Structure 1
Amino acid sequence: MPEEKSLIFKVEEETELLKFLLKVMSNRSRNSVKSILTRGQVTVDEHMETKHNYPLHPGQMVTVLKNEEAKKENVLVGMSIVYEDKDVIIINKEAGLLTIATEKEKKLTAHHQLMEHVRRANPANRIFVVHRLDKDTSGVMMFAKSEKVKRKLQDNWKQMVKERTYVALVEGNVQQQQGVMKTYLKESKTHMMYSSPDRNDGQLAITHYKKIQSNKNFSLLELQLETGRKNQIRVHMQDLGHSIVGDKKYGSKQNPIGRLGLHASVLSFEHPFNGRLMLFKADIPKSFFTKSK
């Protein structure tokens, strides 16, 4: 039998992630366990987690990618490649992984990992960001493999992108089966996005929503974006009176799934060079279904 690439542990009691790992990996030093966490080798249920004090609850599953596997050149952390050709790369990103570098984190990003991936074939190869997903949003995402492709996609985004579907787990029982949110989004000095009803005040943002299922505590919604503004879905769900689960920034009061309840499930677009219609899907996280049943 081939050796397992990952170690999987079940959480039996309330604890914090680092404490839990030190207990189940008692053969390793504290520093070794900390570096496994920092390198993004740990997944809790359906998302990558690097925080030492991340709270764990009974029944959760913690997966640790073994060191030898993590060091292998072809292992991507917190993401997987769904499709690749000479022009584009499509990935399925886990919640917890940054799209691009920040002041604090330079390497543990989708962009950096894909850059290393393409440079293995040719050190001159590069990767270009076409659009972004927030760190805590999971799902399907596209990168370009040249400046020319990036420009073509960005300049013709509305014409070339045929479908962008998200699913959101939101607080409360959404009464309407479907609806449309249409506002003008602005950014405050503290980088909070907010809605204005005035057409001369901000960028037009349109979100279509449809209820998949709900109970008295949570609703699972399918969301189609007509525009792609910063934090658009998160603001619109707050405006609707049903903030996204785990979205403290935009009014959420609870987080029973340990992550932001937002997932990019479908991306469909015309290929930038051959015009072929491409469609990619990323499975909806199981916890979204179980909480809204």
Structure 2
Amino acid sequence: MLALRFPNSSRSTLKRLVLAGRVTLNGRRVRKLTEGVRESDQLKVADRARPVESSDLLEPLERIFEDQDLLVVHKPPGLLTSTGPRETRPTALAIIQKYLAEHDRDARAGLIHRLDRDASGLLVFSKNELAYESLKTQFFRHTVQRIYLALVHGSPKPVKGRIESQLVEYADGTVHSTKATGRGQRAITEYEVLRVHRHVAEVRIRLETGRKHQIRAHLAQREWPILGDPIYGRKDSARRLMLAAVELQLDHPRTSERMTFRRPAPPELDELMT
């Protein structure tokens, strides 16, 4: 812990230094006093607070890629992607709008798709009208590939398959499959079991469509609810919804180059599978 490297400093003093942005660990700004420090690590305290860098404006989002047209970020669990005008809680869209206002004033953040609040993973935002129209068209035509990892209760059989149904949203905001003719939206989810450990399976999921709560509703419908799901799941010890968007493939709006963005599985998922 940080305090062990500075035994002659009070906790309040260390906290002020951290909050002021004066403490770095291996060149990276330290965010909390409890951050782990090894003997080989380079821990430095600056004489005065360093200037705020552009990447800091995106916190708690992590910037994965940015150019004149696109901004790809990693959203942590618990953060809304976007919401209505009366919402006071922070959202990924609001953070990006503020970031662009200070970093690239000619850019305009365009909301392309969403992740559930309790999920984590990759999100792409447009920065101009060209990119917005291109990305919206790609999502509409289902040419964007979205890959997720999830931990589910049980051991899905068959180990690889496709779930297709019409999803309808109820008044309470939950989503369920319906057999009623002409109701709901067509939803298609492809899945593959990667490994099973103690009645929990790690599942790779590819979305062909992107409906609200689609993955969660489809897996729960098969009696394989995602761990940590407060809406469609069971009571369990998972600290969060075990669902993460780990891969995003799309065509660049300006060059048409096929681009692939990936993130490793969150450590919480691996912890539960060992």
Q: TM-score range by the shorter chain?
A: 0.7 to 0.9
What is the rounded CA distance, in whole Å, between the counterparts of 2:109 and 2:49 in structure 1? 24
Residue 16 of structure 1 corresponds to none
Residue 285 of structure 1 corresponds to 266
Distance 1:87-1:187 versus aligned 2 partners, 3 A rule: same
Residue 72 (structure 1) aligned with residue 72 (structure 2): no
> SS of 1:273's equivalent?
coil
Please report how far the alpha carbon of residue 73 of structure 1 lies from its aligned counterpart in structure 2 after TM superposition: 4.8
Task: Choose from 226, 230, 233 the match for 2:212.
Answer: 230
Residue 88 (structure 1) aligned with residue 70 (structure 2): yes
Distance 1:121-1:206 versus aligned 2 partners, 3 A rule: same
Q: 1:115, 1:125 within 8 Å by CA — same for their partners in 2?
A: no
Residue 255 of structure 2 corresponds to 274
Distance 1:70-1:209 versus aligned 2 partners, 3 A rule: farther
Please report how far the alpha carbon of residue 132 of structure 1 lies from its aligned counterpart in structure 2 after TM superposition: 0.7
Please report how far the alpha carbon of residue 123 of structure 1 lies from its aligned counterpart in structure 2 after TM superposition: 3.2
> SS of 1:179's equivalent?
strand
Task: Choose from 248, 252, 260 the match for 2:241.
Answer: 260
RMSD value, Cα: 3.0
Q: Give the structure-2-normalised TM-score.
A: 0.77
Please report how far the alpha carbon of residue 100 of structure 1 lies from its aligned counterpart in structure 2 after TM superposition: 1.9
Task: Choose from 88, 113, 125 the match for 1:105.
Answer: 88
Residue 184 of structure 1 corresponds to 166
Which digits, 9 at most, give the CA deviation of each residue in 1:154-189, with x for residues without a partner?
133244734110011111232421111111000111
Distance 1:260-1:149 versus aligned 2 partners, 3 A rule: same
Task: Choose from 128, 132, 147 the match for 1:146.
Answer: 128
Q: 1:78, 1:96 within 8 Å by CA — same for their partners in 2?
A: no
Q: 1:160, 1:270 within 8 Å by CA — same for their partners in 2?
A: no
After TM superposition, list the pairs within 5 Å mapping 1:1-293 onto structure 2: 27=12, 72-74=52-54, 75=56, 76-101=58-83, 103-106=86-89, 108-159=90-141, 161-254=143-236, 256-293=237-274
Contiguous gaps of at least 5 residues in structure 2: 5-9, 20-32, 37-44
Q: 1:194, 1:235 within 8 Å by CA — same for their partners in 2?
A: yes
Distance 1:70-1:182 versus aligned 2 partners, 3 A rule: farther
Q: Give the structure-1-normalised TM-score.
A: 0.72
Distance 1:71-1:243 versus aligned 2 partners, 3 A rule: farther
Question: Based on CA coordinates, which of the two structures has the bigger radius of gyration?
Answer: 2
Q: 1:171, 1:243 within 8 Å by CA — same for their partners in 2?
A: yes
What is the rounded CA distance, in whole Å, between the counterparts of 2:181 and 2:207 in structure 1? 19
Q: 1:207, 1:224 within 8 Å by CA — same for their partners in 2?
A: yes
Instruction: Percent identity, please.
Output: 28
